A and B are shown apart, each in its own frame.
Chain A
Amino acid sequence: NAGVMQNPRHLVRRRGQEARLRCSPMKGHSHVYWYRQLPEEGLKFMVYLQKENIIDESGMPKERFSAEFPKEGPSILRIQQVVRGDSAAYFCASSPGSRRAGANVLTFGAGSRLTVL
C-alpha cells in the first residue's frame, strides 16, 4: 500500500541540461498535482493533471516546463534548459478525484530536490 512515490529524490543538473521528475500516485488515485517549494517558502501550485489530461496549468512557467500524466506510467514533470533559479524541491501529490470522498485531501510524496549548478 505504497503512498505517492517520487523519483529521483535528489537530482543535480548543470545549467542548460534537462531535468525529469517522476511521480506515481497512490493506488486508486487518478489526480496528480505538482507543487514547487523554495527554501523557507510555501508550496506553489504548478499543474493539475488527470490521466492523459492537463486540467489546470496556471502555475506553470510558460517556457521550458511541461508535465504529462500518460495512460500508463507515472506523471512526469520536465524542465528543459535548466537555470539556477529552477533549484527547488518539487512535490507531487495525488487525490482520488473530484466526485469521491476525500477528494480534497492531497497525499504528498517525499519530493524531488533539484539542484542546478
Chain B
Amino acid sequence: GESVGLHLPTLSVQEGDNSIINCAYSNSASDYFIWYKQESGKGPQFIIDIRSNMDKRQGQRVTVLLNKTVKHLSLQIAATQPGDSAVYFCAENISGGGSYIPTFGRGTSLIVHP
C-alpha cells in the first residue's frame, strides 16, 4: 500500500509486506531531503537522506526515491517489521551557505500488524 504525505494519513501493512510512504515537497529550490522516523514519545531519528543530484538512494531495507520534476519523494521499506511502526516525516532543505532550516511535512503514521 502507499500513502500521500503532508496530512498525517495512516498506512497499515502486514508484517513482511513492503511499505511505500510518499511526500510532496513545496520548494523547488530544495536540494537536500531527509526522512525521519518518530516513535511514540520520542524525538525524530534520521533514517536516510538524498541530495537533488540523485534520484535514488538505498540503505538497509530502505530506499528513497526523488522525482524533482513533480517535487515528490518516497520512502520504501522492505519486509516491514513491527518495529517499523512509527510516524515518518520527510524534510526538505536548501543547502550551501547561510542558514538552512529543514522544513518538515506533517508525517505519515505507519502501523505494522504482526
Contacts and interface: CB of A to CB of B under 8 A. Distances in A.
A41 B8 contact: yes
Contacts of A107: 46
Contacts of B34: 104-106
A43 B99 contact: no
Interface of B is mostly: loop
> Contact residue range for chain B?
20 to 34
B106 interface: yes
Interface of A: 4, 33, 35, 40-45, 48, 55-56, 91, 93, 98, 103-111
26 contacts: A4-B43, A33-B101, A35-B104, A41-B106, A42-B8, A42-B104, A42-B105, A42-B107, A43-B44, A43-B104, A45-B101, A45-B102, A45-B104, A48-B99, A56-B99, A98-B99, A104-B32, A104-B49, A104-B95, A104-B102, A105-B49, A106-B46, A108-B45, A110-B41, A110-B43, A111-B42
Interface of B: 6, 8, 32, 34, 36, 41-46, 49, 89, 93, 95, 97-107
Given A42-B8, A42-B107, A98-B100, 16 more contacts: A40-B8, A42-B6, A45-B104, A55-B99, A56-B101, A91-B43, A91-B44, A98-B97, A98-B99, A104-B32, A105-B46, A106-B44, A106-B102, A108-B36, A109-B43, A111-B42
